[in-house]
């Protein structure tokens, strides 16, 4: 799989939180070459199943014993904007869908998705020439922002509806040293990790049934992962989400270096499973940087681990700079290393993996 091509195409596809239906159908086609069964569920989650390629001893004796089931999760939805008001002059007032910083919006270009088609829009910015002396010291607020459609107000009122989705422009560009910037690397880059892992598992024998879940509605609370985990009912959850690469001025302990997978430690993580993950990393010479989530992880992990009667989980962060902007930047090598770690971990899951899990 060409990671860069997948990122270029997937990050440009429409998938605001709650509006993932078409994206899910496309993602299904991406997993089909590597999986035995792929379906889209009622919540628009994509569930891709890779059956075991190595039989556990217990299964040989007793065909009824199911193999261990590990579920990888990365979310497909993206943060976006939503039309909340059509002003008299035909410009549109907006609000964020998911955690969008209004400070990144001035002079951005966007697509307004209407019932009758997509419209190009520009977010207005007051020119320096007309600003009062202290204007630039004021932070931008949602109410200062509007979309210009370059259209007559009457026509806008006929075309645009309150609640129409607005997505950002921000096509992928390659930077130096194998880095790439794009909108929506969060979390399509982790879907790339899952595809990479699926491809690797074509060549590695595994006892576990491996399920890849592309979840919906993460940006508003992990709802796709909640329902997906219910129906898949895995033995192990392995969540992949982007995490914070270092940023000047950020507290040093709130970020990780950008070049390697960052497994998370903390009360929401099953600590023996985490130890197993570290062992896998070590035995495969995969560099990792540990990250701490002292309480909730703010990822699908928080929902997956309390699905049904509980699912032991690990979480691996893919470091990303400038999260929730249109220039989210990742290192391609880090994606590959996450893929290598995920595949190796899945292959290491053997029958009896949970023997010492809790004591």
Partner 1 sequence: MDLKTLCELNALGGREEAVRKVVYDICVDKLGKDAVSFDGMGSVIAMRKAKNTSLPRVMFAAHMDEIGLIAVSAGDDGLINFRAAGSVDPRVLLSKRVMVGYGEDAVPGVIGYMPIHLQSSDEYHAAPTIEKLSVDIGAKDKAEAESKAPKGTHITFATKYTEFGDGFVCAKALDDRVGVYNMLRLLDAEYDGELTLAFTSREEVGLRGSKTAGFRVQPDIAIVLEGTTANDLGDTEDRFKVCIPGQGPCVSFMDLSSIADHELFKLVLKAGQAESVPHQIKKYVAGGNDAGAIQRAGAGCKTVVISVPCRNIHSPSSVCSLQDVDNQYHLAQATLKHLMKG
Which residues make up the interface to partner 1 (CB under 8 A)? 87, 89, 91, 99-101, 103-109, 119-131, 136-140, 143-146, 148-152, 155, 170, 173-179, 181, 244, 246-251, 254-255, 298, 321-327, 329
31: closest CA among 198, 187, 185? 198
Nearer to partner 1, 235 or 328 (CB): 328
What's the per-residue H, E or C state across 17-34?
Answer: CCCCHHHHHHHHHHHHHH
Nearer to partner 1, 45 or 329 (CB): 329
What is the side-by-side strand order in the sheet with 291-292? 37-40, 46-50, 209-215, 69-75, 236-244, 313-320, 262-265, 291-292
The least distance separating partner 1 from the CB of residue 339, rounded to whole angstroms, comes to 21
The least distance separating partner 1 from the CB of residue 117, rounded to whole angstroms, comes to 12
Nearer to partner 1, 67 or 319 (CB): 319
Rounded Cα distance between 249 and 159, Å, is 44
The least distance separating partner 1 from the CB of residue 234, rounded to whole angstroms, comes to 27
Nearer to partner 1, 69 or 324 (CB): 324
The least distance separating partner 1 from the CB of residue 91, rounded to whole angstroms, comes to 4
Rounded Cα distance between 38 and 24, Å, is 11
The DSSP secondary-structure symbol of 39 reads E
The least distance separating partner 1 from the CB of residue 276, rounded to whole angstroms, comes to 29
Rounded Cα distance between 161 and 279, Å, is 53
Nearer to partner 1, 27 or 156 (CB): 156
Nearer to partner 1, 44 or 325 (CB): 325
What are the backbone angles phi and psi of residue 13, rounded to the nearest 5°?
-85, 145
How far from chain centre, in Å, is Cα 188?
A: 5
The least distance separating partner 1 from the CB of residue 109, rounded to whole angstroms, comes to 6
Nearer to partner 1, 162 or 175 (CB): 175
Residue bearing tokens 């949602």: 142
Q: Which residues contact 243 (CB under 8 A, 6 or more apart)?
A: 256, 262, 264, 291, 317, 318, 319, 320
The least distance separating partner 1 from the CB of residue 158, rounded to whole angstroms, comes to 13
Cβ atoms 326, 249 nearer than 8 A? no
Name the token pair of 175.
Answer: 């930077």
């Amino acid at each position: 799989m060409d990671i860069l091509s997948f990122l270029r195409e997937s990050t440009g596809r429409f998938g605001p939180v709650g509006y993932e239906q078409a994206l899910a159908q496309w993602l299904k086609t991406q997993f089909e070459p590597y999986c035995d069964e792929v379906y889209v569920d009622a919540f628009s989650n994509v569930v891709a199943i890779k059956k075991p390629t190595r039989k556990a001893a217990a299964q040989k004796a007793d065909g009824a014993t199911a193999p261990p089931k590990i579920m990888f999760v990365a979310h497909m939805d993206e943060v976006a904007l939503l039309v909340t008001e059509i002003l008299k002059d035909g410009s549109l007032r907006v609000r964020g869908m998911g955690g969008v910083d209004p400070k990144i919006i001035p002079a951005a270009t966007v697509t307004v998705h209407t019932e009758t088609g997509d419209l190009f829009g520009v977010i207005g910015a007051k020119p320096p020439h007309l600003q009062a002396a202290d204007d630039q010291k004021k932070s931008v607020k949602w109410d200062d922002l509007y979309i210009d459609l370059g259209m007559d107000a009457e026509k806008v009122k006929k075309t645009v509806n309150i609640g129409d989705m607005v997505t950002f422009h921000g096509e992928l560009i390659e930077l130096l040293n194998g880095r790439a910037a794009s909108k929506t690397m969060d979390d399509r880059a982790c879907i790339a990790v899952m595809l990479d892992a699926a491809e690797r598992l074509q060549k590695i024998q595994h006892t576990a049934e491996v399920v890849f879940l592309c979840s919906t509605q993460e940006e508003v609370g992990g709802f796709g992962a909640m329902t997906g985990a219910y129906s898949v009912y895995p033995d192990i959850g392995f969540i992949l989400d982007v995490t914070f690469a270092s940023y000047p001025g950020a507290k040093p302990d709130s970020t990780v270096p950008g070049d390697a997978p960052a497994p998370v430690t903390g009360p929401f993580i099953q600590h023996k499973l985490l130890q197993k993950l570290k062992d896998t990393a070590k035995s495969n010479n995969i560099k990792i940087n540990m990250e701490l989530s002292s309480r909730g992880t703010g990822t699908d992990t928080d929902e997956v681990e309390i699905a049904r009667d509980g699912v032991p989980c690990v979480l691996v962060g893919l470091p990303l700079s400038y999260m929730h902007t249109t220039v989210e930047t990742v290192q391609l090598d880090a994606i590959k290393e996450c893929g290598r770690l995920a595949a190796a971990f899945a292959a290491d899951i053997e029958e009896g993996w949970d023997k010492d899990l809790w004591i």
